[in-house]
Amino acid sequence: MNEYDSDRIKNALDAEPTDDPGSADIIIINTCAIREKADQKAFSSLGKYKTLKANDPDKIVGISGCVAQLYGDQLLKKMPHIDFVLGPRAIPKLPAIISEIEREKRKTVETSYDIEELFEIEPYHQEGKVTAFVSVQQGCNKRCTYCIVPRVRGSEVNRPLEDILRETTNLVNKGVREITFIGQTVNSWKENGYKFRDLLRAAGDIEDLDRIRFTTSYPRDITKKMIDAMSDVPQICHHLHLPVQSGSDKVLGGMKRTYTREWYVDTVKRLKDAMPDIAISTDIIIGFPGETDKDFEQTMSLMREIEFESSFSFKFSPRPGTVAAEYAAEDAVDPEVASERLYELQAYQKEITSTKNKNRVGFIEDVLVEGESKNDPEFLSGRTDHNRILNFKGPKDLVGKTVKVKVTEGLLNSLRGELVV
């Protein structure tokens, strides 16, 4: 989501990007507030540009994204070298804000949620890139007690179907072959009588779009019709990121996730019944207030029961104004205990991911070739339908094509293979 917003900012400015902050006319730090660590990172990045601004007062320095929304004008007081503060919904206002600062040398804070042209600025697209994101939804209507997103990104706004399809088709015309629809709870998307499954089916009709992915799905909004669309439309990848957060019903209740462990397990079963090869990944929060050893053990037993393809796991971080931050004031889990639990869970996940990757050896995978491998330009790199990275040797003109690759090696974070000709 933030990467997408950064690309929108790049496009909104219509300026030449540079890696050298010293020579930049405008510096914008796009920030994330989901956990405290991310938000601290924003402050330390901003601090770095203090001297640059002092030496060159005409340079414009701004902060955008969720940290900007969260702290608003306090940021200007705390960091006087900043020229503007821009919330995540206000990106379309950026060009006007920059010209105003240039003209009037006045500091600006734009954090209103009511932005009419919410989806107006589409992201910068690097020529030749084979994959792209398309935003279908902004904000969130769920009320998970730990989460700051509804506060900083506002309530859910869904983008019209025609606009999504138009942006997708434009990208395909530029050579994109894989689209990932993004939204905070992407499968809750509904607009003008259409449901998410209708969007999936309509995307399946776009010519030359080889692959469709979407993220992040909210478990309670997985419906039978959505599963049917996923299994019917051949371009939809059989990979689903489905954050469970915990395996304990008590913790899920405290989080207000609106499902039980049994319900989640049954949903995964329904997905696997329809698509036996589907790869499921997840997010887990460790050390939610009141999480006991027994609760954690239930999370571990869920990990063993489902054997997720991969998982992102985080220590609970109390966020300002959230209900769970109040719980944490009374019932916080000892940080050392939380670290031990996190370590145990991540070690287990590594084992599973690595075994699953090794088990792919001998399989022939369809790989959409994205470019040269980052670590070794002799190799081409792409992803399998299940979202695993697969590196193999082959001619560069395969970039953008879907090819068959036989897996020869399964590593922890990727596969290696040989082109099948």
330 with 318: CB under 8 angstroms? no
**CB–CB of 405/364 below 8 Å?**
yes
Orientation angle between helical segments 161-173 and 196-204, nearest 10 degrees: 30
Cα four-point dihedral sign 398, 399, 400, 404: positive
Spatial neighbors of 169 by CB under 8 A, at least 6 apart, are 206
Q: Is the Cβ of residue 64 or residue 217 nearer to ligand 5AD in the bound state?
A: 217
Query: Could you say which of 34, 42, 98, 405 contacts ligand 5AD (CB under 6 A)?
Result: 34
| Other CB atoms within 10 Å distance of the CB of residue 293 | 9
The Cα–Cα gap between 137 and 197 comes to 15
Q: How far is the CB of 319 from ligand 5AD (least distance, A)?
A: 5
User: Which C-beta is closer to ligand 5AD: that of 1 or that of 368?
Assistant: 1
Is there a contact between 134 and 180 (Cβ–Cβ < 8 Å)? yes
Residue 26, strand partner residues = 60
Distance CA 190, CA 186 (A): 9
- For 76, 77, 170, 207, 289, the CA distances from 177, given in Å and listed in that order, are 43, 46, 11, 10, 43
Per this entry, what is the length of the chain?
421
Which of 316, 368, 394, 400 contacts ligand 5AD by CB under 6 A? 316
84 versus 327: smaller Cβ distance to ligand 5AD: 327
Closest approach, Cβ 39 to ligand 5AD, in A, equals 11
Contact call for residue 280 and ligand 5AD (CB under 6 A): no
**Contact with ligand 5AD (CB under 6 A): which of 25, 283, 340, 418?**
283
Of 92-100, 312-320, 332-340, 374-382: span binding ligand 5AD (CB under 6 A): 312-320
The continuous run of DSSP H or E covering 293 comes out as helix 293-306
245, 364, 251: which is closest to 308 by C-alpha?
245
Secondary element (H or E) of residue 372: strand 364-372
Q: How far is the CB of 339 from ligand 5AD (least distance, A)?
A: 13
Q: What's the min distance (Å) between Cβ of 282 and ligand 5AD?
A: 8
Positions in 243-262 near ligand 5AD (CB under 6 A): 243, 245
* From 71, 84, 133, 146, residue interacting with ligand 5AD (rule: CB under 6 A): 146
Kindly tell me which residue out of 64, 217, 248, 317 binds ligand 5AD, with binding defined by CB under 6 A: 317
Binding mask 75-114 for ligand 5AD (x = CB under 6 A): ----------------------------------------
Binding string, 208-247, against ligand 5AD, x = CB under 6 A? -----------------------------------x-x--
Confirm or reject binding of residue 314 to ligand 5AD (CB under 6 A): yes
Which one, 185 or 353, has the nearer CB to ligand 5AD? 185
Closest residue by beta carbon to ligand 5AD: 283
Contacts to ligand 5AD by CB under 6 A: 34-35, 146-147, 243, 245, 283, 285, 314, 316-317, 319
